[in-house]
Amino acid sequence: MAGTGVFAELVDGDGVFKYYSYGEWKKSSSGKSVPIINPTTRQPHFKVQACTQEEVDKLMEEAKTAQKSWAKTPLWKRAELLHKAAALLKEHKVPIADCLVKEIAKPAKDAATEAVRSGDLVSYCAEEGVRILGEGKFLVSDSFPGNERTKYCLTSKIPLGVILAIPPFNYPVNLAVSKIAPALIAGNSIVLKPPTQGAVAALHMVHCFHLAGFPEGLISCVTGKGSEIGDFLTMHPIVNCISFTGGDTGISISKKVGMIPLQMELGGKDACIILEDADLDLAASNIVKGGFSYRQHKSLYVVSSCGQRCTAVKVVLVMESVANALVEKVKAKVAKLTVGPPEDDCDITPVVTESSANFIEGLVMDAKQKGATFCQEYKREGNLIWPLLLDNVRPDMRIAWEEPFGPVLPVIRITSAEEGIHHCNASNFGLQGCVFTRDINKAILISDAMETGTVQINSAPARGPDHFPFQGLKDSGIGSQGITNSINMMTKIKTTVINLPTPSYTMG
């Protein structure tokens, strides 16, 4: 259960979860709290502290100081602590999962999987950090015209300083550790601002790092509404780098902040192009897996959440000649999805907030008015929306372009692969895409033509395995994630040049 056992110290006398600063769990002096609404019951379930600007200032100063000595901590020791935190995350997967069920309606089994995946990510990151941060470059000057060999250049990777991490609600633990672990192994300190829906799960995760014994001040976690403290955090002068995952908020943050490195992982409208020669059974199961649920049958990480994934399939572009057959196969699979509360491990659970459900409904009504074919009856109870496939969607419908972040999937019928590529590239987003065909040559040509950070051939889009590079083009992001890229992104290169009095040629 959340806030019990080793997690009891996270809760204050009024049942409000505390924030984390200088190795301690604290009540905010604001005396205010932010409620977290359970998406299933639509009732307040948890409360977190609404931190003040003064509290943020204090923990930023602490993070700056703690980072200086952390940067002098041997790499193997940093890795050792991360391995401890990873083990603790796995050990405490049940209470963490309990929070995810209540805060974001993640199905129970999948919620536990998120904690385990996060532990694995932290361990991998520790190992990768030891490998790549222990290496640098050695260059000699005479490879550049006009130079003798009088200069030896040594490069190494040094930390950036204080990293601000802001993850989204849909993976509040996994997308937090994907920022925290690279930051720490690279010698940075971290200030985490978790999403409000998912904050309590994130606080439990932070406690695992606390129990692992990281130095005071190195990790802080500040809670409160992003709309209230977000600007203060992102524009804070002590912050040396921001790693953000979320929606359009990331675009406005990028416009406001100063000259610091940004890692932005934003929204997507991942297209799934189906050619005439595709294996339609494979395509249909991937569309259902990718569009409606997180579940990935071949992966250890079996997770579900009704389209609330940045890399969900968000538009199907199918060749007219196979469209009827494909739609029938997808319909048959959609009919088998279970719909209900996360506690029952249903495939389709309530979406995160009432306003998200209203937004999705707006897209559905627009498509209805403009003549889309409804493959199922539209059904909604509270935040729970039954899976819906919309056929014969046309480019004048909002659902053709906008990200529903819910269990509603549009199908656009195309007459050539070029038409599919054109639709994909006309989107403001460029996160991932996928193509289904038995012809690898066509697959490569289409993959090269799609303006997205990743293209999956014969599988639904997916973030992960977590060490694969993951990036969005256009409005889908800045920079690249994936464990190795995140570690590199959270460092800068330091060069030392040894100047010799005379040219020196080894063995010369």
Contact by Cβ (8 Å): 258, 188: no
Contact by Cβ (8 Å): 286, 460: yes
């999805």: which residue's tokens?
337
Site for ligand NAP, residues 58 to 117, rule: CB under 6 A: none
Q: Counting contacts by CB under 6 A, is residue 33 touching ligand NAP? A: no
Q: Site mask, ligand NAP, residues 259-288, x = CB under 6 A? A: ------xxxx--------------------
Among 89, 121, 431, 435, binds ligand NAP (CB under 6 A): 431
Q: Site mask, ligand NAP, residues 296-325, x = CB under 6 A? A: --------------x---------------
- Please say which residue, 128 or 403, places its beta carbon nearer to ligand NAP: 403
- Please say which residue, 249 or 452, places its beta carbon nearer to ligand NAP: 249
Q: How far is the CB of 157 from ligand NAP (least distance, A)?
A: 24
Q: Counting contacts by CB under 6 A, is residue 168 touching ligand NAP? A: yes
- Please say which residue, 212 or 400, places its beta carbon nearer to ligand NAP: 400
Q: Site mask, ligand NAP, residues 203-242, x = CB under 6 A? A: ----------------------xxx--xx--x--------
Q: How far is the CB of 349 from ligand NAP (least distance, A)?
A: 16
Closest CA to 178 of 418, 437, 464, 486: 486
Q: How far is the CB of 268 from ligand NAP (least distance, A)?
A: 5
Separation between Cα atoms, residue 307 and residue 302, nearest integer Å: 14
Q: Site mask, ligand NAP, residues 118-157, x = CB under 6 A? A: ----------------------------------------
Count of C-beta atoms within a 10 Å radius of residue 380: 17
Q: Facing residues of 156 across strands?
A: 494
Q: Facing residues of 152 across strands?
A: 140, 498
340: left (phi > 0), else alpha (psi -120 to 50), else beta? left
- Please say which residue, 166 or 393, places its beta carbon nearer to ligand NAP: 166
Contact by Cβ (8 Å): 414, 320: yes
- Please say which residue, 55 or 391, places its beta carbon nearer to ligand NAP: 55
Counting every residue written for the chain, the total comes to 508
Chain position whose Cβ is nearest to ligand NAP: 230
- Please say which residue, 52 or 249, places its beta carbon nearer to ligand NAP: 249
Distances (CA, A) of 408 to 41, 167, 219, 307, 381: 22, 24, 39, 8, 15
Q: How far is the CB of 428 from ligand NAP (least distance, A)?
A: 12
């790549």: which residue's tokens?
132
Q: How many residues bind ligand NAP (CB under 6 A)?
A: 28
The torsion of the CA quartet 351, 469, 214, 168, rounded to 10 degrees, works out to -20
What is the separation of C-alpha 112 from the centre of its chain, rounded to a whole number of angstroms?
17
DSSP string, 482-502: SHHHHHHHTEEEEEEEEEPSS
Q: Counting contacts by CB under 6 A, is residue 405 touching ligand NAP? A: yes
In sequence order, what E strands does 232-294 have? Answer: 241-245, 262-265, 271-274
DSSP 500: P
Q: Counting contacts by CB under 6 A, is residue 430 touching ligand NAP? A: no
Separation between Cα atoms, residue 308 and residue 294, nearest integer Å: 8
Separation between Cα atoms, residue 465 and residue 313, nearest integer Å: 17
Q: Counting contacts by CB under 6 A, is residue 20 touching ligand NAP? A: no
Active site (catalytic) residues? 265
- Please say which residue, 43 or 227, places its beta carbon nearer to ligand NAP: 227
Contact set with ligand NAP (CB under 6 A) = 166, 168-170, 195-196, 225-227, 230-231, 234, 245-247, 249, 253, 265-268, 310, 403, 405, 431, 463, 472, 477
